[in-house]
Amino acid sequence: MKAGSNLEKVLTSGHFAVTGELGPPRGASVEAVEKKASYLKGVVDSINVTDNQTSVVRMSSVAVCKLLVDMGLEPNLQMVCRDRNRIAMQSDLLGAYALGIRNVLCLSGDHNKFGDHPQSKNVFDVDSVQLISIVKMLRDEGKMLSGQECEGVAKFFIGAAANPFGDPFEFRVTRLAKKIDAGVDFVQTQCIYNMDKWRKYMHMAHEEGLTEKCYIMAGITPLKSVGMARYMAKFVPGLDVPDYYIERLKGVEKKKQAAEGIKIAVEQIQEMREMPGVAGIHLMAIEWEHKVPEILEAAGLLPRPKVD
């Protein structure tokens, strides 16, 4: 065991893992965190806590992770390079470990121009690959980036994100390989809709031997409506939403589109379970956490395994 987290145990035991996601509130409401977390408790193996996603100010990801630990849940701390230099990153990582957080996801972060403080300065002192190396050094060598030894080792299970659909497509697997070489243990992908392209990506990753070196978890985001599908296809960078899903949602009554979106997500999950190299799913039910148990039940992924 590298960190001994529940997620690590589930994956290393060969179970098909399930992670969920919790977006912190735009305020200091503990009750808002507890409400979202209540829908995920017992139905996912660990919970991603986003870090000021879309460059919008939200409650600290470290603080929300600690709230989840106190609730008996396992968090995955997301850390973005946008807002911190290497000093602040290492400080937050050491503090997170001291608070009982064992999984960390290393991300670049959305540019500030997309958020509610576009005049703020992006930091990007290091990139996500370098951040992975920093976390690995803390864990495996007990040293900071400066070479200074730590007083107590921070042992994290290291995660990263991958976008299989960015251009150039052929470079996406090379980018994944760089993160694996830097020390990543598991990868969660961007939302997947174009299943044909996803199969090609996984085939290339398998051919390169990457599926043997890292646990790849497929990102699933259920579509609530045809409007959401059109928005994600047009405005969300790096997403590929095929026209056939938009047409499928258009073909049902408006009040039934949410149910159809869930049906699509379940079909995707069932295919992922049969796909070589896919170790689990990352279910991102954006502001729809209460639907997570329903989706996982329909996909045959409940109850979750108990591992020691």
In this predicted structure, the answer to whether residue 236 has a pLDDT above a threshold of 90 is no
Residue whose pair of structure tokens reads 């329903």 in the numeric block = 294
Q: What is the pLDDT of residue 121?
A: 94
Residue 73 CA to residue 127 CA, distance in Å, equals: 29
Residue 308 falls within a domain, yes or no? no
Confidence of residue 155 (pLDDT cuts 50, 70, 90): very high
Q: What is the pLDDT of residue 112?
A: 87
Confidence of residue 167 (pLDDT cuts 50, 70, 90): confident
Contact 118, 112 (CB under 8 A): yes
Q: Residues 92-108: what's their mean pLDDT? A: 98
Q: What is the pLDDT of residue 114?
A: 83
- State the CATH number of the domain containing residue 183: 3.20.20.220
Number of domains in the chain: 1
Secondary structure (DSSP) of 194-242? -HHHHHHHHHHHHHTTGGGTSEEEEEE-----HHHHHHHHHHSTT----
Residue 232 falls within a domain, yes or no? yes
Q: What is the pLDDT of residue 77?
A: 98
Output Rg (C-alpha) for the chain, integer angstroms. 19
Residue 208 CA to residue 295 CA, distance in Å, equals: 32
pLDDT tens-digit map of 34-85: 999 999 999 999 999 999 999 999 999 999 999 999 999 999 999 999 999 9
**What pairing do the DSSP bridges indicate for beta strands 157-162 and 278-283?**
unpaired
Residue 235 or 186, more confident = 186
Q: Residues 241-266: what's their mean pLDDT? A: 97
Contact 75, 68 (CB under 8 A): yes
Decide: pTM greater than 0.85: yes
Residue 292 falls within a domain, yes or no? yes
- Domain range spanning residue 105? 6-298
pLDDT tens-digit map of 172-188: 999 999 999 999 999 99
Residue 254 falls within a domain, yes or no? yes
Considering Cα of 110, then 69, then 138, then 211, what sign does the dihedral take? negative
Which residue intervals of 115-194 are DSSP H helices? 128-140, 171-182
* 243-250 vs 226-235: helix crossing angle, rounded to 10: 160
Q: Which bin fits 34, alpha (ψ -120 to 50), beta or left (φ > 0)?
A: alpha
Q: What is the pLDDT of residue 220?
A: 98
Residue 139 falls within a domain, yes or no? yes
Residue 307 falls within a domain, yes or no? no
